[in-house]
Amino acid sequence: MDDIILQILNGLDKGSAYALIALGLTLIFGTLGVVNFAHGALFLIGAFCSVTVSRLLSLSFEKIDGTQTDFLGNPLRVETPYLHEWFGPEIGASLIDWAVPIAIIFAIPFMVLVGFVMERGLIKHFYKRPHADQILVTFGLAIVIGEIVKANFGANPIPTPAPSAYAGAMDFGVILGFEPNTIIYPIWRFVYFLFSMVIICAVFAFLQFTTFGMVVRAGMADRETVGLLGIDIDKRFTLMFGLAAAVAGLAGVMYTPILSPNYNIGMDFLVLSFVVVVVGGMGSLPGAVLAGFMLGILQSFASMNEVKSILPGIDQIIIYLVAIIILLTRPRGLMGRKGVMEE
Amino acid sequence: MLGMNRKDTTLFIIVCLMVMLAPILLNPFPTESAFSQFNAGYPALLQRFVIFGILVIGFNILFGLTGYLSFGHAAFLGLGSFAAVWMFKLLSYNIVPAIVLSVVVSGLFAVVIGYVSLRRSGIYFSILTLAFAQMMYSIAYSDLVGKVLGFPITNGETGLQVYNNDPQFLLGDGPTTPHLFGWEMNGSFTWDIGGWSFVFHNGYYLAGLFMIASFYIAIRIFRSPFGLILRSIKSNQQRLNYIGVSTRPYMLTAFVISGMYAGLAGGLLAAMDPLTGAERMFWTASGEIVIMSILGGVGTLIGPILGAGVIKYMENIISTINDTVVHGWFSFMPDGLEDFVVAIVHPFIGKGWHLTLGLVFMVVVIFLPGGLVELGQRIGAKFSRKKPTDPASGATTPAE
């Protein structure tokens, strides 16, 4: 039993990331009808927002410390972060420690802006072109963004630690009433799961309970009629693109402590997220979330040693296997709507 | 000639001549000159031109004619390579069984994958082929088949190659490098004339012959009734169904043909260099195939070959240019300006060539959906005396 719970927990963090990216993909697809292969690049930009913020916060200068001397008797030069200087060592240290959560504040407006620029600058011109063209141009954009990141940050993964208060692991078994030390789980992964749930709920609430969201949903169902009612639906859809970009970016920001990002992280997640979207059903938001968590947990079960001893390597192919089976038995995915992507 | 109309015959002859004379034509700069690094006429690169040409010609039969975008085509390339290396390991270095088996194996896999994937169309087809290819990549990369059977099949991360203790039942006294009945693949003839040095490489000419044959078959497919059906699938599949044509057998045939082309290319890659690894099947490799065919011009005969050539040329040449070389070119400028220019060029050369590739690809998709072929036609139209009849300009705004 505790093994099963541990595997479910292990699947949650990956599942959360899949769900968030797939949610954004589905939002873009449902509103604008664009297959966005550059969505992984948005996740990547988010992850590197976090890297940049943590670097900016720990920018430092050399300060001459009069109280100490080095071995030659000269006053010691100490590398001091500006934050220590400005806010005092204690607050400065904790600000640097909390770099990843602080990055969220910067990432939201930045990602919305990136989304705007992407939609207005490039994707707008591809609405009337075939889906293959949309896939290709966004694929090219993903390559370009990945390479720009590589040119600026190098090809190696950059570790970005979580705040030290959340860096350790916690004993989950005790909370659930098992023996101690049966379910040890890193705290940050749990935080990531909670965070993603908050984001997902917020997106759904936004679409469900605000007038803006209602108009967007109406536009998803029948764009032309909404336009005939005198509503500028394009403007709202552009905003939704910004929102989807922000969701993907936040998923990236918060994921950095779990997996040190490098320039490839976007592509890795993108391929899987596409599979998630297709399994969940193109154009269905709940389907994307459900499929994200389902595939994440399934993957973690498949990587159990007991399973691997029977079917070696199943953990690497399980997602694709499930996707193929589902596409062939339920062509619209788990919760797909009728008439989406069916010419 | 050979069942082709006059225009196609001309094109075919031009391609034949290009393949035959490429070691000379692509070597325009003397060996000692400063520009010699732009020479593309060395065997390793020429082989890649023609082999990837074969691959993309095959991909074009699927994507160009039917519009079905397969994002997992590199899997067949990898399969072909693995099959060929296994023939080297089991029989001998003769490439005939290797290439036959690589085509057959890829064809068989294409039948299965195509049968399943072609039940869906559009983005679903792309994702299905991507899923299959990634699955096969994972299986090859961690050698799952080998783990089940108890001996290495794809040899995982290390990659598959021929070892001295392999059985090689038919080897006898034969050569220990890939050969065609004794005619060694890596043999070559060098012709030094003036400052130039032209290398005529056996392996290149064999691969070139295969490419010419593939190109001929592609022409015949394009002009056949079968090709016409494939084109009509692209323009309106529903209408075909309504008039009582079952499209699936045609689609499957096209898929298998293009899979076999990829297998042939994989087999030839192994014949040039008898080792292979799972990374040939990774999905970025499939993406590269798509880029090649788009860049050249989808749905045209010559486009894919051009695309493959340009990409492989960029990959090999741009990636070898470094800052020192650029400094050399711009040394006539004042120092400050020179450094400035080099700093601007820097991100696009050397290790950054992927950035150049991505940008070029985006520009082509945005402005030149017909690729290099369309560019050529536009330039040709500018200079020809005929009034340019531009069918595209009249059809950009569909009536809704």
**pLDDT, tens digit (0-9, with 9 covering 90-100), for B148-193:** 777 888 887 888 888 877 777 777 777 778 878 877 777 778 887 7
Predicted model pTM: 0.85
Chain B nearest-CA distance from A317, in A, is: 5
- pLDDT attached to residue B397: 41
CA A255 to centroid of chain Cα atoms: 7
What distance in Å separates the CA atoms of residue B68 and residue B361, rounded to the nearest whole number? 19
- pLDDT attached to residue A160: 83
Query: Domain limits of chain A?
Result: 2-59+85-329
Interface size, chain A vs chain B, as Cβ–Cβ contacts under 8 Å: 116
The per-residue pLDDT for range A176-230, each reduced to its tens digit, is 777 777 777 888 888 899 999 999 999 999 989 999 999 988 888 888 888 899 8
The per-residue pLDDT for range B345-394, each reduced to its tens digit, is 777 777 778 888 888 888 888 888 888 888 888 888 888 766 545 444 44
Beta bridge partners of A151: none
- pLDDT attached to residue B393: 44
A343 has pLDDT over 50: no
- Given a contact cutoff of 8 angstroms between Cβ atoms, the answer to whether B110 and B76 are in contact is yes
Q: Which residues of A, range 280-339, sit inside 8 Å of B by Cβ?
A: 282, 312-313, 316-317, 320-321, 323-324, 327-328, 331
Which residue type is seen at B382? K
Q: In the predicted model, what is the mean pLDDT of residues B273-288?
A: 86
What distance in Å separates the CA atoms of residue A86 and residue B84, rounded to the nearest whole number? 67
Nearest to A284 by CA among A219, A333, A218, A234: A333
Query: Domain limits of chain B?
Result: 6-29+41-281
Token reading at B14: 């031009």
Q: Find the DSSP H helices in chain A.
A: 2-32, 39-57, 82-87, 89-97, 99-121, 131-153, 172-176, 187-209, 211-221, 223-228, 233-255, 265-280, 285-302, 305-310, 314-329
Which residue type is seen at B295? L
A163 has pLDDT over 60: yes
Chain B nearest-CA distance from A316, in A, is: 6
Chain A nearest-CA distance from B124, in A, is: 7
What distance in Å separates the CA atoms of residue A37 and residue B361, rounded to the nearest whole number? 14
Token reading at B277: 């690894």
Q: What is the CATH number assigned to the segment(s) A2-59+85-329?
A: 1.10.3470
CB-CB under 8 Å, B352 with A147 = yes
The per-residue pLDDT for range A36-61, each reduced to its tens digit, is 888 889 999 999 999 999 888 888 87
- pLDDT attached to residue B400: 38
Q: Does A136 touch chain B (CB under 8 A)?
A: yes
